[in-house]
């Protein structure tokens, strides 16, 4: 499950659980991006903070893991590099799924070495409430033809990392949007107080 996770929240956790059950997965590996290639409009919180928040948010779930693979890899983060590595670790017979937000999914054909994805994984795209999947499908027919994509609807994705960062900055509550432990970590490390 790829994402910036800045910070991880209940929407991500519900998405992971939903994907685990719907696609009968063995486990979900949360993969915080290292240096998101296209995040130039704002400063992303350090990979170490985002990784640690993911670890504490998922610690109690035996089916969830967090990987340092992308935050430890030098240079810009490209999903194709991650999937190639996972494929070489798990072999050609493993079914690999890459879970991410539906908003990101239509950009995939523009990602590095996009033509390899069809052989590397099936994408699971999580949609927020109100997302018009039929309209998106007809608008993005080309992408659908070039990739394997499944969609899941996740009502909890009304929660967003952007909203949480803004709430912290404005001293509004984030309780019940992310775990108590993540909220405490944000407070302790003084994250999101200035820019969001």
Binding residues among 84-123 for ligand NAP as defined by CB under 6 A: 99-101, 103-104, 111-112
**Which 21-40 residues touch ligand NAP, going by CB under 6 A?**
33, 36-38
Question: What three-state secondary structure class fits 122?
Answer: strand
Q: Is residue 67 near ligand NAP by the rule CB under 6 A? A: no
Q: How far is the CB of 36 from ligand NAP (least distance, A)?
A: 5
- The reply on whether position 126 binds ligand NAP by CB under 6 A is yes
Long-range contacts of the stretch 110-113 (C-beta < 8 A, 24+): 111/78, 111/79, 111/80, 112/37, 112/78, 112/79, 112/80, 112/81, 113/78, 113/80
Told to check if 78 binds ligand NAP by CB under 6 A, we report yes
Residue 178 contacts ligand NAP per CB under 6 A: no
**Near ligand NAP by CB under 6 A: residue from 22, 46, 138, 162:** 162
Structure tokens at 145: 């033809």
Residue 10: CB atoms within 10 Å: 17
Name the residues that contact ligand NAP, by CB under 6 A.
1-4, 11-12, 15, 33, 36-38, 77-80, 99-101, 103-104, 111-112, 126, 157, 160-162
């Amino acid at each position: 499950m790829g994402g910036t996770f800045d910070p991880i929240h209940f929407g991500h956790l519900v998405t992971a659980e939903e994907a685990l059950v719907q696609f009968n997965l063995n486990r979900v590996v949360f993969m915080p991006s290292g240096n998101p290639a296209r995040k130039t409009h704002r400063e992303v919180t350090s990979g170490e903070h985002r990784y640690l928040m993911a670890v504490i948010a998922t610690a109690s779930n035996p089916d969830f893991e967090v990987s340092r693979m992308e935050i430890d890899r030098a240079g810009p983060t490209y999903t194709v590099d991650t999937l190639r590595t996972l494929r070489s670790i798990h072999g050609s017979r493993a079914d690999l799924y890459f879970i991410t937000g539906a908003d990101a999914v239509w950009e995939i054909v523009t990602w590095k070495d996009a033509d390899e994805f069809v052989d590397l994984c099936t994408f699971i795209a999580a949609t927020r409430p109100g997302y018009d999947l039929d309209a998106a499908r007809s608008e993005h027919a080309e992408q659908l033809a070039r990739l394997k994509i499944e969609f899941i609807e996740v009502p909890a994705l009304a929660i967003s990392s952007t909203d949480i960062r803004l709430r912290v900055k404005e001293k509004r509550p984030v309780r019940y949007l992310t775990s108590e432990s993540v909220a405490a970590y944000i407070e302790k490390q003084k994250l999101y107080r200035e820019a969001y």
